[in-house]
Amino acid sequence: MRPWRYVKKALFSLFIISQIACSGLERSEYKKIRKQHAVTAKVTRKKADQTFSLYTSTHAPGKVMISPYSWQDQHVRPPRITKEWFQCKGSCKNPSYVLEGATYEDCGGSHEHSLPKQEGKEHIYPILLDLLNHIQYKTGKKIIITSGHRCPRHNAYVDPSLKNRSAKHQIGAQVDFYVEGLENRPMKIVRVIQDYYKKHHQTKNQKKYTNFRRSSGGTGVSIWSNQEVSIAIYPEKKGRNKDNTHPYPYLSCEVLFDKKRDAPVSYTWEKAHKNITFR
């Protein structure tokens, strides 16, 4: 048996050697054929030919520069707040509960219904967007909207109290929020809002906008208001509802007057219930 094993090893070695030799011959033949068919030609230029110089781009005066990518800019501002940030936070996953014999169930949120509408379009009062973006611009910090629009069903779910039934969240005229990094300094945000009215070209010379009256909302809630808005500070463990379960103080900004329509802003059942579209 042993001689036959040696014969098999010898035959296998001869096979490998023959394959290597064949592949070497093939490569040699390929190079030979390629050399025979190679064609060379000289590159010629006309006498007037000129080479191009490298162009260095510069910012043209009066032209708008494209903003750098976020990772190139060391002073990136938080993303601009639009009406989409106010989508109702209701969810059909939230459990129902019973209080004083009444059952409360949450809505399906933005998957179920639209934002409030004016003239057929989704609408959040523009002053809320202006103030929130002004706060982000001045502080460089991101705003966390804890409660924007609430449909009537979600509004009752988060707080079924009688006082909350007329909350302007339902008509896009109120927002609850805090500022990342300034969670425990809500008074700083109130001053930023006051500064907005003192420096804005449309309001800086009008006392009805620059003068803020201070009042108390009870249970430690402080309120500052001018003709257009009121800003309330809810301290820790005060004014809590199912949209504001975080541990921080928060601010609630409510629209009192619509400059565009020159009219007070008030809650009505029709505005809350009939001005949203179910999907």
Q: Which domain holds residue 203?
A: 83-274
Asked if residue 59 belongs to a domain, the reply is: no
Asked if residue 179 belongs to a domain, the reply is: yes
pLDDT at 279: 86
pLDDT at 170: 98
Of the candidates 256, 217, 276, 223, the residue with the CA atom closest to the CA atom of residue 127: 256
User: CA 2 from chain center: how many Å?
Assistant: 79
| pLDDT over 80 (residue 136) | yes
- Per the prediction, the chain carries an average pLDDT of 86
Tens digit of pLDDT for each residue in 19-38? Answer: 555 555 566 776 777 777 77
Say what the pTM is.
Answer: 0.73
pLDDT at 219: 81
Averaged pLDDT for residues 225-253: 95
d(CA 48, CA 76): 50
d(CA 222, CA 233): 5
Asked if residue 165 belongs to a domain, the reply is: yes
276 Cβ contact list (under 8 Å, min separation 6): 113, 114, 115, 116, 117, 151
Asked if residue 69 belongs to a domain, the reply is: no
Asked if residue 9 belongs to a domain, the reply is: no
Averaged pLDDT for residues 70-89: 79
Averaged pLDDT for residues 88-109: 96
Asked if residue 15 belongs to a domain, the reply is: no
Asked if residue 107 belongs to a domain, the reply is: yes
Asked if residue 27 belongs to a domain, the reply is: no
Which two tokens mark 101? 């014999």
Give the number of domains in the chain: 1
